[in-house]
């Protein structure tokens, strides 16, 4: 069960954030701010304490805190983000991380290794690490080495179609796994009870398990029904403005 979350308010500069979908338009900052507040309320309703960090105007994508750190029950790893414009975001997250972890339990990914937290999916004490344009094998190996000090394991999974591993995967505990796109038939994930998401609702693959409640993006009824049919309680949150920056529900928080 998770006890804590860390989030960061979106910056006004988010309208200049990185995107692979410019056709969706620039984010509406005021709407994004309201959506972020609803997101925090949804997290809190699941019984966790949420630390809300102030916006970092110099970093348009800094609300996506998941990419700059990995938090587990025993340790944290400060990443080395693969996008140059986001790399210094780690300076803003580290002080917050150290409020929860002893210094000896905070580790780093160092160059030439790169790692985005969006490429890391935790399944118990095992971690799947996507090899993407943002995360390389050296970064994955460093993370596996750090996790190994705490009895945890990891494995690398090459990506070919999606930005991050968790763009098309979400672990819902009890062996349930949301899968979309290239992962539907991926041999690595054969052992899971798969909830397959259709291409027209592909964005909804990025859900988060939060203490037996699943937070799902608003507006994807087939995905919502598929999860409810497995017996899960659901909360929906509108993330339309974050989708414009390739961001989803998991990207907006660190959960541990």
SS3 of residue 90 by DSSP: helix
Please give the distance of CA 155 from its chain centroid, rounded to a whole number.
17
CA distance 47 to 121: 22
Give CA–CA dist 233/213, Å, rounded: 5
The answer to whether 250 and 242 have CB atoms below 8 angstroms apart is: no
Give yes or no: 63 in active site: no
Q: Over the range 88-100, which residues count as b (16 or more CB within 10 Å of their CB) and which as e?
A: ebbebbeebbeeb
Cα distance between residue 179 and residue 197, in whole Å: 6
From the list 245, 157, 170, 160, the residue with the least C-alpha distance to 201 is: 170
Give me the helices (H) in 19-150, please: 29-44, 89-97, 137-148
Of 164, 176, 205, 207, the active-site residue reads 164
Rounded Cα distance, 156 and 147, in Å: 13
Catalytically annotated residue among 5, 63, 75, 251: 251
Tokens representing residue 206 in the block: 């990025």
Alpha carbons 171 and 165: distance in angstroms, whole number: 11
Answer yes or no: 251 catalytic.
Answer: yes
Q: In whole angstroms, what is the distance from residue 186 CA to residue 192 CA?
A: 11
Give the active site residues.
164, 251
């Amino acid at each position: 069960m998770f006890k804590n979350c860390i989030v960061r308010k979106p910056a006004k500069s988010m309208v200049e954030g990185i995107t692979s979908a410019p056709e969706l338009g620039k984010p509406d900052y005021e709407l994004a701010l309201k959506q972020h507040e609803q997101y925090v309320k949804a997290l809190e309703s699941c019984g966790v304490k949420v630390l809300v960090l102030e916006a970092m105007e110099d970093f348009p994508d800094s609300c996506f805190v998941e990419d700059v750190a990995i938090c587990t029950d025993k340790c944290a790893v400060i990443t080395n983000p693969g996008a140059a414009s986001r790399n210094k975001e780690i300076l803003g997250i580290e002080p917050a991380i150290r409020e929860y972890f002893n210094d000896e339990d905070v580790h780093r990914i160092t160059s030439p290794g790169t790692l985005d937290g969006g490429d890391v999916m935790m399944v118990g004490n095992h971690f799947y690490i996507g090899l993407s344009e943002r995360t390389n094998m050296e970064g994955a190996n460093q993370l596996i080495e750090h996790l190994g000090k705490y009895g945890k394991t990891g494995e690398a999974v090459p990506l070919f179609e999606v930005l991050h591993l968790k763009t098309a995967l979400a672990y819902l505990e009890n062996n349930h796994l949301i899968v979309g796109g290239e992962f539907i038939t991926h041999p690595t994930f054969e052992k899971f009870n798969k909830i397959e998401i259709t291409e027209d609702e592909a964005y909804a693959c990025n859900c988060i398990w939060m203490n037996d409640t699943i937070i799902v993006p608003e507006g994807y009824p087939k995905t919502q029904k598929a999860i409810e049919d497995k017996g899960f309680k659901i909360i929906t949150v509108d993330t339309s403005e974050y989708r414009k920056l390739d961001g989803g529900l998991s990207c907006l928080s660190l959960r541990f």
